[in-house]
């Protein structure tokens, strides 16, 4: 997949986990990577990791809940590189651990603002820039929770269903203009979010592994590989899909 040489890739939530792994993977394939994150320390660490591997990257601070930040992120990308070929809208949160009727409205609003409206804001400003290219690609991070139920995570699940809805609608709206829009739906991945959850309830670790027919959780690099495929010429006839990367969880 060496068709990323010279491409400009913008990744939100690139400060760690899946975002960092994807930034590194794109850079290793010759892309110019814009690392966007709400944490300057994490974002700059990702840039350092990319540069140490011989890649090209720069950091841009962005809070996807703020319209002015998202607009400025896209404008800064265009100012630096003159174009935008690929966007991976990966920023998201999970701060919910209760049944639906016990939920808090403030938590509901926060999850929706980041996971749904954040993706909407990003695409709103990315799409006009990307339509200037003959071909371009957006990948949004959803979840297997967006493909079914997620007990004690009902709002998170709803937010990821919404991301898939945004993805499919945009794919249909812009398909004839050379823009492909897809989503990845990870299962449980070995990220800081997973580590925090296991630290709180270590007894759940084996249970979570057993949820995946392959008998383990996923690695960020495995999601990154799927993102690169969806953005490559090999996936030129693929748009509007929500691709599970879940160790077989959704096959059960």
Catalytically active residues, by annotation: 156
Q: DSSP per residue over 158-210, as a string?
A: HHHHHHHHHHHHHHHHHGGGTEEEEEEEE-SBSSHHHHHHHHH-GGGHHHHHH
The first and second tokens of residue 69, run together, are 């930040």
Residues 34, 59: Cα–Cα separation, whole Å: 6
Residues 70, 127: Cα–Cα separation, whole Å: 12
Other beta carbons less than 10 A from residue 102's beta carbon: 9
User: CA torsion sign, 15 to 20 to 23 to 27?
Assistant: positive
User: CA torsion sign, 111 to 220 to 17 to 90?
Assistant: negative
The first and second tokens of residue 103, run together, are 């939920």
Residues 22, 7: Cα–Cα separation, whole Å: 14
């Amino acid at each position: 997949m060496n068709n990323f040489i010279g491409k400009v890739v913008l990744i939100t939530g690139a400060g760690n986990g899946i975002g960092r792994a994807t930034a590194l993977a794109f850079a290793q394939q010759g892309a110019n990577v814009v690392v966007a994150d709400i944490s300057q320390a994490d974002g700059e660490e990702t840039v350092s990791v990319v540069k140490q591997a011989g890649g090209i990257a720069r950091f841009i601070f962005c809070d996807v809940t703020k319209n002015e930040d998202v607009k400025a992120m896209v404008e800064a990308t265009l100012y630096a590189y003159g174009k935008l070929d690929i966007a991976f809208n990966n920023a998201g949160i999970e701060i919910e651990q209760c049944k639906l009727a016990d939920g808090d409205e403030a938590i509901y609003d926060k999850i929706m603002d980041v996971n749904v409206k954040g993706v909407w804001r990003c695409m709103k400003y990315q799409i006009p820039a990307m339509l200037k290219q003959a071909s371009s690609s957006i990948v949004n991070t959803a979840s297997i929770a967006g493909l079914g139920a997620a007990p004690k995570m009902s709002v998170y699940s709803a937010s990821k269903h919404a991301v898939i809805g945004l993805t499919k609608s945009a794919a249909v709206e812009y398909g004839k203009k050379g823009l492909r829009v897809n989503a990845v739906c990870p299962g449980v991945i070995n990220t800081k979010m997973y580590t925090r959850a296991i630290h709180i309830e270590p007894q759940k670790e084996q249970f979570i592994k057993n949820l995946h027919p392959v008998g383990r959780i996923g690695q960020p690099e495995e999601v990154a590989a799927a993102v690169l495929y969806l953005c490559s010429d090999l996936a030129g006839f693929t748009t509007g899909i929500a691709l599970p990367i879940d160790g077989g969880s959704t096959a059960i």
